[in-house]
Amino acid sequence: MDVSFTGSVFLGMSVDGFIARLDGDLSWRTGGGEAGGAPDDGAGGDFGFAEFLSGVDALVMGRATYEFIAPFADWPYQGKPVHVLSTSLPADVDPRITVHRSLGETVAALDAAGYRRVYVDGGRTVHAFLAAGLVSDLTLSRVPVLIGTGLTPFGELAADVPLEHVGTRSFAGGMVQSTYRVRR
């Protein structure tokens, strides 16, 4: 798919690769810090999330991610356009977001807006963007816990997605964060 923007992923996950339990529970992240995929390993801090967010023009997420973040007292994406991919949310559900019904509609709107770098969040949305070849980089923060089963953005893909390791950092508390560039 030929578009003017690049998709960037920033996810917190368990060491075994899950972003949430099957019921959506995130308590294994040891509380706090879940907004926008920013993990919390119990040591505090935002682990580079604010810097990452400052480098994107807009966000796209799925309905479940939006519904998790929507009730937060402080909207974590002030000043950033937020697009939500959903077939069930009413178009006028929240003035802070724009709802799109399909991946194609979402991609067309992001492209037409002239965004250069878009933060892609939420398991199904990340998977759809990966499958469509619309992700350029991934920052994956592994929280030091195994949860055994759960939700992953890395389900079946039509082909391998080769990655180039950019860098890895470790944090107090044991969290390890690796960044990868998608090789084309």
Question: Other CB atoms closer than 10 Å to residue 138's CB: what's the count?
Answer: 23
* Res 1: pLDDT: 75
Assigned token pair, 128: 């759809």
Confidence of residue 34 (pLDDT cuts 50, 70, 90): very low
Half-sphere exposure of 89 (CA within 13 A, CB side): 23
Angle subtended at Cα 39 by Cα 36 and Cα 41, rounded to the nearest 5 degrees: 165
Residues 6+ apart with CB under 8 A from 45: 171
* Res 30: pLDDT: 66
Instruction: Find the mean pLDDT for residues 29-43.
Output: 49
* Res 43: pLDDT: 52
Return the sign of the alpha-carbon dihedral for residues 122, 152, 52, 128: negative
Higher pLDDT, residue 104 or 32: 104
Give the right CATH number for 6-182 from 3.40.430.10, 1.10.3720.10, 3.40.50.920, 3.40.50.2300: 3.40.430.10
Confidence of residue 33 (pLDDT cuts 50, 70, 90): very low
Angle subtended at Cα 140 by Cα 167 and Cα 21, rounded to the nearest 5 degrees: 160
Higher pLDDT, residue 121 or 41: 121
